[in-house]
Amino acid sequence: MRGVRGNMSKNKGTKMSELLDEWESHKGTIFLSNLYRIETSRYIVNRNYSVLKKFINKLEDNYPMFGSRNKKKFRIAMRELLRMLHNYLSSIMSLKEHTNRFIRNLKNSELIEQFNNKKIQLFSSNCASFVKQFRNYIRARAIIETDTYRLHSVVVRNQGEAVDVTRRLVEEEGVQSILLCPGFTHRSVAEIQDAVKGKAGVFVARGDGPSSIITRKARTGR
């Protein structure tokens, strides 16, 4: 029985060693390890900079003490300053090297290809269409609030969207007055008035000759 137990323990140890080797050689583990090196290098750069800055400030505050009789202290201080400056510059070069190595490995790995494929899938999916529509929705709306009233400014693409937006504003936001731009025709105004069902007043901002020409161009392209 002892021999059997020994073989079982040995097999478990072998499997564990194989799992560890597989984990260490996994692309995700290597990726995270490289990121950790970059983060560590960045931390060292910041610490070296902080130490160097404090020492320089200390030298500036105590500069009068370095007179003709204190040349030895001055040389010691300069030597210490050069040491800190060397550490700071070396840590910057180390951070640069780790970053460049990480970028090279990323370009040569399959991860970048997988990322590009996922990006293509995302921007060609229904999710991309939703994001695009939501972005347009945000860009075409604005809300102005004062002590007296709350103004919703909305840009619409067509009459159907105007009817839908107006209905939603009245039902969901409690809007009491609708002011349409000069581009709406009498028929369009009537449709919007029917949509709000008497719950809000519908008005049209009419302009002079030049403004009517501008709105006609925006509405018809001519």
Q: Is 178 exposed, middle or buried (0-12, 13-18, 19+ CB in 10 A)?
A: buried
Q: What is the pLDDT averaged over residues 192-203?
A: 92
CA gap 182, 138 in Å, rounded: 23
Q: What is the pLDDT of residue 199?
A: 92
Per-residue pLDDT at 1 exceeds 50? no
pLDDT of amino acid 111: 61
Residue 106 CB coordination number (10 Å): 13
Confidence at residue 121, expressed as pLDDT on a 0 to 100 scale: 67
What confidence score (pLDDT) does residue 181 get?
84
Mean pLDDT of the chain: 78
pTM of the model: 0.40
Residues forming beta bridges with residue 204, ordered by sequence position: 180
If pLDDT is split at 50, 70 and 90, which confidence band does 4 have?
A: very low
pLDDT at 2 over 70: no
Could you tell me which residue, 65 or 194, shows the higher pLDDT? 194
Q: Mean of the pLDDT values across residues 20-29?
A: 68
pLDDT band at 190 (very low <50, low <70, confident <90, very high): very high
Q: What is the pLDDT of residues 67-81, one digit of tens each?
A: 556 777 888 888 898
Share of the chain above pLDDT 90, in %: 18
Tokens of 28: 């995700």
End-to-end CA distance of the chain: 96
Instruction: Output the pLDDT for position 202.
Output: 93
**pLDDT at position 57, please?**
85
User: What pLDDT shows up at residue 195?
Assistant: 92
Give dist(CA 20, CA 26) in Å, integer: 10
| Selected residue with higher pLDDT from 139 and 97 | 97
Band of residue 178 on the pLDDT scale cut at 50, 70, 90? very high
